[in-house]
Each structure stands twice: as C-alpha cells, then as structure tokens.
A = this chain, B = another copy of it.
Amino acid sequence: MDDNPLRYEPVAADGAARAGLLWTPRGVIATPCFMPVGTRATVRAVDSADLERLGIQVVLANTYHLMLRPGVEVVAQLGGLHAFSGWDGHILTDSGGFQVFSLEPKVDDDGVTFRSTYDGSSHRLTPETAVAIQADLGADIQMVLDVCPPLPSSTQVVRRAVDRTADWAARAADAFAERRREGSTQALFGICQGGVDEALRAESAERTVAVGFDGYGIGGLSVGEPRHQMLPALAAATAVLPADQARYLMGVGDPRGLVEAVGLGVDMFDCVLPTRFGRHGTILTSAGRVNLRNAVHLTSDEPLDPSCGCAVCARYSRGYLRHLRMVNEPTVARLCTLHNLHWLGELVGDARAAVLDGRFEAFRAEVAAVWE
C-alpha cells in the first residue's frame, strides 16, 4: 500500500494518548473520534440530517447486513453507500467478520460459510469477496475479513484465528492492491486478533503490519472479557502498531473503556452503546448513567444532563421524555439517541482537548471516578 490515500497527522501526544488529524480524499477526521454504528446504512432511530447537526465525522456500516438486505447490487446501483444513505460524511464498512463469527459459521482456510439471519439462506465470504463487496458498497475505509473468536477461547483457538487472520490479511491486501491499481481511492485497514493473550496480540499486530495496510483495527476485544484483561492485550497491540497510522479499537464505546483506550494510543472507536442505550432509555450524563424510566423523573423539569449543550437538553425535560418513554412514543428513541451521541462525541472531544492541553491523566481520572 504505497500510495495510502489516508494520512495520519499527529497533532499532540500526552503519554501514549494522542490527538491527530486523519486526512482522506473526502476530508479530515479529528482523532480520537467515535463512529456511530449504522448497521443497515442508517444509525438506528436517527437520520443523516441528524448526524450532520450532531457534527458526526464518520459512520460505520455493516457489510454482513447490507450484503443480505438490500443486497450490495442495490446499494451499488443507487450510487454506493454515501448516495444511498444521503450522507456526505465519512463511512467505514466493517467486513462482516464479527457478525458472521457470531453465527457459528463453517470456517475453512479459504473463507467462511454462514446462514442469513433474515431468511436462513447460505452465503459465503472470503478475504477477496469481502474486498469486492466493500468496494461496491463504496465506503471511505474498508476492513479486512478476519477471524474473530469468542472469549474465553482456548489458546489453540486463538492461535488458529491469528494464523488465519494473517493469511487472510495477505490475500485481502493482494485483492485490494488490484482495486487501487484500477484507481480506487478507498482505504483498507488490517485487523489484529489474539484474544487477551498479550504475546499473541503482539504477534498478530506484527504480522498484520508486515502485510501493510492504510490503518489498523484491533478486533476481538470487548467481547465479554473484563477490562483488566482487555487493556493489557490492547496495549500489546498498540505498542507494535506504527505511530504514523490510525488505530481503531473495534466495538468499544463505553465511556470508561473508551478513555482508557485513548490513553493507550487508540484513535478510532465504534460501538452500539450510545444508540442502543438511547433506544432503551438509558442516558449518558456527566453524573453517570440515568434510567429514564425511574419514577424520580416523573415531574422533573431538568434536562437529561444539566451540563449538556445538545438540542434535546435545550428543549426537553426529563419529565417529558420519561412520559414519552413510558407510553412508548417512537420519537423518544431518537431524542435519547441524539443526546447520547452528542454526549459521547463531547467526551471524545474532551479527551482530545485534554491531550492537546497535556492533562490527559487528570481527565482520565475524572472519567474513572464516574464510570466503572
């Protein structure tokens, strides 16, 4: 990947934590950044105009879901994901590996066969078809197809996942190089695996870097293991990853985990947490989680978070939003999602500001005092 269309520009560092700018053919992403999950080419309960108003920089979309519904050919015929979803900001597609490996698929050296959760039909992904499908989807950043074992898994299972992920990384890079020769301006990120075994994490990161990608994902973490196991494994990977390229911790978006990972040098995050929480009435606030259903909010004229500057907090009281939640009015899912996305975006922005100001450790400690 000699002509990397991405350029990671370091802006400041504070310990291992870093603030940067990720330049792409589409524009620039200030890092660290949080990417809302738009599984089916929409972030659940909100629309692209909402994301614009929130100042979202990058949205994730899901290859597994989109190849099944509406089908990659439909998205391609409608101009690719950006035109399809009316979203001019950045898009990153995951390869579908994470979803597929949660379905007890049949894995062989060549690829993986799985059944659709929509209609039971059989489908197959290989490193090469994952590249081809994501090329048709047309996101700004592709992810390689990796092997993502559940945790806990035996060392043997994790070792085999690391080996297969490395083999598949090389094949994906070859397939992608062909696309780039044909003029593609997409980027491709490798993914390192290795479970919570620090040696395997370091090895997987080294082998992924040896293939060479436009950026690096750290996958297979935040899948149920305790944080005291996750963070050393993450550190083992980030210690190996190139300082001049972006690092993306896949599936992490809880406030504490996110900030701890920034402290280990991670630049990019995605997670369903703020959107799923929002749909279920769990609110992220500066005082911690708030359950909107709690009767204490019945006549509260306070906003969701008194220190929040989002449009929802500017307009609506907890009492009103609780009412909407209790009678299952659909709009409350959107309003709580908007607040949670704004809140988490502010948290990441605050983390970036703390790095720029050289006070990241104090910031980390503040977050750790509120969030388990």
A residues touching B (Cβ–Cβ < 8 Å)?
40-42, 44-49, 65, 69-70, 74, 77-79, 84-86, 279, 298-299, 301, 311, 315-317, 319-320, 322-324, 326-327, 329-331, 333-335
Residue of B nearest to A75 (CB): B323
CB pair A327 B74 closer than 8 Å? no
CB pair B40 A320 closer than 8 Å? no
In the complex this chain forms, how many copies of it are found?
2
Q: Could you say which residues of chain B place their CB within 8 Å of the CB of A315? A: 48-49, 86
- Of B70, B299, B334, the contact of A78 (CB 8 Å cutoff): B299
Sample of 14 more A-B contacts, CB < 8 Å, known A47-B335, A78-B320: A40-B329, A41-B323, A42-B331, A45-B330, A47-B331, A47-B334, A49-B315, A69-B326, A69-B327, A70-B323, A84-B317, A279-B330, A330-B333, A334-B334
CB pair A329 B74 closer than 8 Å? no
CA of A317 to CA of B301, assembled, Å: 39
Whole-angstrom distance between the Cβ of A277 and the nearest chain B Cβ: 15
Q: Could you say which residues of chain B place their CB within 8 Å of the CB of A84? A: 317, 319-320, 323
CB pair A46 B320 closer than 8 Å? no
CA of A326 to CA of B61, assembled, Å: 17
* A44, A79, A319, A330, most chain B CB atoms within 10 A: A330
Q: Could you say which residues of chain B place their CB within 8 Å of the CB of A301? A: 78-79
Q: Could you say which residues of chain B place their CB within 8 Å of the CB of A44? A: 329-331
User: What are 27 pairs between A and B in contact, CB < 8 Å?
Assistant: A40-B324, A40-B329, A44-B330, A44-B331, A46-B331, A47-B331, A49-B315, A65-B327, A69-B326, A69-B327, A70-B326, A74-B298, A77-B319, A78-B299, A78-B319, A78-B320, A79-B301, A84-B317, A84-B320, A84-B323, A86-B316, A86-B320, A330-B330, A330-B333, A330-B334, A331-B334, A334-B334
CA of A77 to CA of B69, assembled, Å: 47
CA of A55 to CA of B298, assembled, Å: 30
Q: Could you say which residues of chain B place their CB within 8 Å of the CB of A324? A: 40, 42
Q: Could you say which residues of chain B place their CB within 8 Å of the CB of A326? A: 69-70
Known: A86-B316, A334-B334. A42 touches B329 (CB 8 A): yes
CA of A324 to CA of B311, assembled, Å: 25
CA of A298 to CA of B75, assembled, Å: 10
Q: Could you say which residues of chain B place their CB within 8 Å of the CB of A299? A: 74, 77-78
Residue of B nearest to A314 (CB): B86
